[in-house]
Chain A
């Protein structure tokens, strides 16, 4: 039985890694078409670095990811604090609202934001679809994940610690700053990392909320796949695979040290 389970696991891991290895191999392949390996080359990487548009798309992607993560982490953390600390009449409703972006298929989320922006443009004259609307969309799907991650961390806190600080004469603000926040910080960081990866990975919401000139890397990859791929995309994909592996590795090392 154990042997069978081990064999199964090996096969599943092979299934998980085979596609990525194929892309990796193709990025060094001299052949433009097909998957027969005809020789080793770095030409596609050279072509990638010489294409000025790629740099622009990369900057767009990073701009969207960083700004949306910043806002959603701030709003999400505050929301989690408020939801855990205070009982108020609408809190149950807010909690349900928080789950909507988590469970709704992203295509529905994309078109509903598109509709919102269209109605708003008709009534108020803004916003035009651009990188700005993409950022608004990303914050919207990141916010619940940050809030829920921070909230679960807050719920694990020992309330005794805060009471002890209060008993020793700390003000509410001091208690928060010296006791609560340092304990919640890993949760905030984990939420921010999750938000960042969600934004970097997103295609669907970006697809519906991006205007002309607001191309991100996922949008570029999609259009190249639809138009027939140039091997540059293999090189780009390989670099992105390595970047995400590095990010995960860093996150692991960093979180373990705590």
Chain B
């Protein structure tokens, strides 16, 4: 029995382990993706149904400056959110990694993140509205009240808030693995603390920084809920356009084309990331 891995048994084992999951992925991941691609070449019928003949019409519509502006706004949100997460998250990751009670600090970092996503976004609406907490605090200094909500900046604040743990965790994992002897070696060679940090410490954190950037940039660029709630219709991102096409507007073909473009941005970004990090980089994302 020990060596009985006959082809038949091997096949049976594959059938039991891999096949159910593989079938699921093909049916619910691969097939829907292909359907989106297919639908993006169709048109909207008179009753909002999908109809032929296939063509590039939807993609040509996307060249309108109006839509280009939406793409740029989404990409900018992704970039600014990543920058915000970097400014808040990098020092925090160092602080946590060198703290004697890092377990507790990590726990406290993840805790708000486990609270329902909508509640966290809604909480910022409460904080930023005209009669909100932030304006009340500003009032103490005889400032404001300011129209903080709805605005692009309110959306940015909430994306940074929502995705910050995605950034801190991989960076923290990299900081944990730092070989501090390299810093001492740099000092021995006469480096100043600043140069030691830039040349001996920070490069060791790059893998975590890149992983964190991917994990923050992609969902921030693709969000529709945060811009919907904190932009209140005034901040339109790709995600909002897609939601409108599949909702009120009922132009699924155009919505599909927008989805293809959003996926293309994601793939481009991941391609660059994989070129920098190698294939192992993808595994660090989970």
Physical interaction between A and B: yes
Q: What is the bound-complex CA distance between A145 and B283, given in angstroms?
A: 11
Question: Is A48 in contact with chain B by the CB < 8 A criterion?
Answer: no
CB-CB under 8 A from B127, the residues of chain A are 18-19, 22
CB distance from B6 to the nearest CB of A (A): 12
Q: What is the bound-complex CA distance between A33 and B129, given in angstroms?
A: 11
Question: Is B219 in contact with chain A by the CB < 8 A criterion?
Answer: yes
CB-CB under 8 A from B110, the residues of chain A are 248
Query: 1/0 contact trace for B152-174 toward A, CB 8 Å?
Result: 00000000010010000000000
Known A-B contacts A19-B161, A94-B25; A78 and B16 likewise in contact (beta carbons under 8 Å): yes
Q: Does the CB pair B24–A88 fall under 8 Å?
A: no
Query: 1/0 contact trace for A215-258 toward B, CB 8 Å?
Result: 00110011001100100010001001100110110001000000
Query: Which residues of A106-121 have CB atoms within 8 Å of chain B's CB atoms?
Result: 106-108, 111-116, 118-119
Question: Is A212 in contact with chain B by the CB < 8 A criterion?
Answer: no
Stretch at the interface among B32-40, B141-149, B176-184: B32-40
Q: Within the complex, which residue of A108, A145, A204 is in contact with B263, where a contact is CB–CB below 8 Å?
A: A108
Question: Which A-chain residue is minimally distant from B157 (CB atoms)?
Answer: A15
Q: Does the CB pair A221–B18 fall under 8 Å?
A: no
Known A-B contacts A218-B118, A237-B119; A75 and B95 likewise in contact (beta carbons under 8 Å): no
CB distance from B27 to the nearest CB of A (A): 8
Query: Which residues of A41-96 have CB atoms within 8 Å of chain B's CB atoms?
Result: 75-76, 78-79, 81-83, 85-86, 88, 90, 94
Question: Which B-chain residue is minimally distant from A16 (CB atoms)?
Answer: B112
Identify the interface centre among B2, B21, B120, B266: most chain A CB within 10 Å of its CB.
B21
Question: Is B41 in contact with chain A by the CB < 8 A criterion?
Answer: no
Known A-B contacts A204-B224, A225-B125; A111 and B24 likewise in contact (beta carbons under 8 Å): no
CB-CB under 8 A from B208, the residues of chain A are none
Q: Does the CB pair A103–B218 fall under 8 Å?
A: yes
Stretch at the interface among B59-67, B198-206, B252-260: B252-260
CB distance from B256 to the nearest CB of A (A): 7
Query: Which residues of B37-78 have CB atoms within 8 Å of chain A's CB atoms?
Result: 39
CB distance from B258 to the nearest CB of A (A): 9
Known A-B contacts A23-B126, A100-B33, A111-B246; A248 and B225 likewise in contact (beta carbons under 8 Å): no
Q: Does the CB pair A13–B108 fall under 8 Å?
A: yes
Interface size class of B (residues with CB under 8 A): 35 or more
CB distance from B144 to the nearest CB of A (A): 14
Q: Within the complex, which residue of A8, A34, A107, A203 is in contact with B131, where a contact is CB–CB below 8 Å?
A: A34
CB-CB under 8 A from A19, the residues of chain B are 112, 120, 123-124, 126-127, 161
Question: Is A166 in contact with chain B by the CB < 8 A criterion?
Answer: yes
Q: Does the CB pair B91–A5 fall under 8 Å?
A: yes
CB-CB under 8 A from B1, the residues of chain A are 171-172
Question: Which B-chain residue is minimally distant from A4 (CB atoms)?
Answer: B91
Q: Within the complex, which residue of A85, A99, A237 is in contact with B17, where a contact is CB–CB below 8 Å?
A: A85
Q: What is the bound-complex CA distance between A148 and B285, given in angstroms?
A: 10
Question: Which A-chain residue is minimally distant from B39 (CB atoms)?
Answer: A115
Question: Is A180 in contact with chain B by the CB < 8 A criterion?
Answer: no
Question: Is B286 in contact with chain A by the CB < 8 A criterion?
Answer: yes
Query: Which residues of B83-99 have CB atoms within 8 Å of chain A's CB atoms?
Result: 88, 91-92, 94-96
Query: Which residues of B215-237 have CB atoms within 8 Å of chain A's CB atoms?
Result: 218-219, 221-225, 229
Other A-B contacts than A94-B18, A111-B259, A171-B1, 15 sampled, CB-CB below 8 A, are: A8-B92, A12-B88, A16-B109, A16-B164, A19-B112, A81-B17, A107-B243, A113-B32, A114-B246, A140-B28, A172-B4, A197-B114, A201-B116, A221-B118, A221-B119
Chain A residues close to B by CB (< 8 Å): 5-6, 8-9, 12-13, 15-20, 22-23, 26, 33-36, 75-76, 78-79, 81-83, 85-86, 88, 90, 94, 97-108, 111-116, 118-119, 136-137, 139-140, 143-145, 147-149, 152, 166, 169, 171-172, 197, 200-201, 203-204, 208, 217-218, 221-222, 225-226, 229, 233, 237, 240-241, 244-245, 247-248, 252
